Amino acid sequence: MAAVVMPDEEEAYLLAILDSPDGLDLAEFAWFDSESDDGCYRAWDFQWPWYTCNDMFQVDQGGRALGKTVGIKMRAFAFPFYYSGQRMLLTAPELNHLRPLTDEIEKSLLGTRLIREMLPDGAHPGSPGSRTGSAVSRTAPC
């Protein structure tokens, strides 16, 4: 039997940030943005409805530079917190669509200390004892 202690105010705020499936709060909390003046990642006001939309079918009116990759990166970043112990599947029509996406996800995950600290010993890519050189496995339809 385990006892759960009521979190204090600061812990409650952190839990709220970690418990968002869209990952936007977590990205603004943990990501570093070298292009911003203060180094903090910040979404534009108009991006909040895009990234927090949970509709099953979503349509973007434009094709490129809308932040689709960023949105997927944020959801992948939040996945271990929101769906603890489960596996995430990313699909794409071809491997040449999937590889850049998984590379970006891996870069954002491993570029953040919060995620690196959660990895088991030996699970860091390229470290002795890791089974693969990549933390993100890539699969695409045949």
* Residue pLDDT, tens place only, 48-58: 887 887 787 77
* The predicted structure's pLDDT at residue 2: 63
* The predicted structure's pLDDT at residue 130: 45
Q: How many domains does the chain have?
A: 1
Q: What's the number of CA atoms in the CB half-sphere (13 Å) around residue 10?
A: 0
Helix (H) or strand (E) holding 14: helix 9-18
Residue 137 in tokens: 């496995």
Its domain, for residue 20, covers 9-51+66-118
Would residue 84 count as lying in a domain? yes
pTM for the full predicted model? 0.67
Nearest Cα to 86, choosing from 78, 96, 94? 78
140 pLDDT band (50/70/90 cuts)? Answer: very low
Would residue 104 count as lying in a domain? yes
Would residue 137 count as lying in a domain? no
Say how far apart CA 128 and CA 126 lie, in whole Å. 7
pLDDT, one tens digit per residue, over 68-111 is 788 888 888 888 888 888 998 888 888 888 898 899 889 888 88
